[in-house]
Amino acid sequence: MNKYYLAIDIGASGGRHILAHREDGRMVLEEIYRFPNGMIEMDGELIWEVDRLFEEIKTGMKKCLELGKIPESVGIDTWAVDFVLLDEKDKRIGNAVAYRDGRTNGMDREVNCFLGEEELYRESGIQKQLFNTVYQLMALKTKKPDQLKRANKLLMIPDYFHYLLTGEAVSEYTNATTTQLVSPKTKEWNKELIEKLGLPLQIFATIKNPGTELGSLKEVIQKEIGYNCKVVLPATHDTASAVMAVPLKQEDTVYISSGTWSLMGTEQKEANCSEESRIHNFTNEGGYDYRFRYLKNIMGLWMIQSVKKEIGRTLGYGEICEAASRCSIKSLVDCNDNRFLAPKNMTEEVQRACRESGQQVPAGIAEVAAVIYNSLAVCYGKTIQEIEEITGKSYDCIHIVGGGANAEYLNQLTARITGRIVYAGPIEATAAGNIAAQMIAAGELNSLEEARECIFQSFPIATYHP
């Protein structure tokens, strides 16, 4: 009889429940439920509808019972940096504000009043991005200090959902590192840094590693969904789960976890918190088994997703990709420019950037998409050169995982512009990595290396040559 494991993977635009089991040594995934997600505006803030999302989590879990496939365990992964605050009665304080909200504007200057960017990087190894948790917390301290004073717990978004399922309040390691408040040396909360910033130390929950069993579902949840199962922490940062599913030797490979964001980097055993690394804006996010995801955040397919909503609603992503491949426009934009983080209209912002730089202004979905795809590939080319310069290693291939592994035109461009062989797949990397952590915890897989080999044998991998 098959043992089933449930991965709940929630991204910025939607979530999925993926049931998995092993069959003939391979990992088999089955999507059983899908639901929408997105930021909405409330009380003058961009927020996540965490109450609705939790209802969707439970609805998808009920599907397992309907299918007669009760999971051994369940684990949830989401995006990083965002959090909720709970008071002493464990009631949520305020909204679950989204990282694209403008509340962090100018908060880097506020943080710099307590310590400089160089020291913050040395202490955390995390690249400066205005939406990082440290800047969100400074925004609360500056603009809504009463919320911070009332807080008894801070939980990252997936930690909050795990808490609602089990009653156990912990901080999972990979997501905790994205706060910019965890020491890459001790792998624990950096108490000196937190106190220096004037933040309340008591709100930060104990850090636990991926693979930790939190316990069973609360009785009220068991009654609602109709069964009990274990809750096991995956790498709750979706990129950390996706990197677990990169099925090649990490020391020889540069990966791109391609989705709303393009996270491009390599895996290292030690963090690189050097000034050279900071200047090039690389980050050292925590990974499974205390490995470091040494990578750069690139704006990614968020730009394509936005353009599709604006001027390509009737088209699928494959159709947009194909249309872009037939365009000859050569214009490029800087994908990492903050102007593309949350513009009112992405199409107009891309056109404006081209106009300001004296380049051909794209017209229509095909040309706008072509500019974005080409710009992403050029950014990938620059980034792999920087990785080689800093690490002193040469990388002859790039492995793309996640939804972007489906973007054939972008994959072809990446191979041509970088001059490297590109391997693409698995598409469901985040779910596969989430499941891998649960299977290792259950003893069904013995190690990360075995999990990666299993994933390599389980899913199709496409190859693109320069």
Active site residues: 238
SS3 87: coil
Which residue has 């912002």 as its token pair?
Answer: 349
Identify the bridge partners of residue 34 per DSSP, sorted by sequence position: 16
Residue 462 is which amino acid?
A
The burial class, CB within 10 Å (0-12 / 13-18 / 19+), for 263 is buried
CB 373 within 8 A of CB 413: yes
Neighbours of 113 (CB within 10 A): 10
CB 2 within 8 A of CB 442: no
Long-range own/partner contacts, residues 439-443 (CB < 8 A, 24 or more apart): 439/5, 439/20, 439/22, 439/27, 440/211, 441/73, 441/211, 441/212, 441/213, 441/232, 442/3, 442/5, 442/72, 442/73, 442/232
| Closest among 123, 386, 394 to 276, alpha carbons compared | 386
H helices within 68-206, ranges in order?
A: 107-112, 117-124, 133-143, 145-150, 157-166, 173-176, 191-196
3-state DSSP helix/strand/coil % of the chain, to nearest 5: 45, 25, 35
CB 110 within 8 A of CB 138: yes
| Closest among 420, 413, 459 to 436, alpha carbons compared | 459
H helices within 330-459, ranges in order?
A: 346-356, 364-391, 408-418, 429-442, 448-458
Which residue has 């694209």 as its token pair?
Answer: 100
What the block records as the tokens of 115 is 């310590």
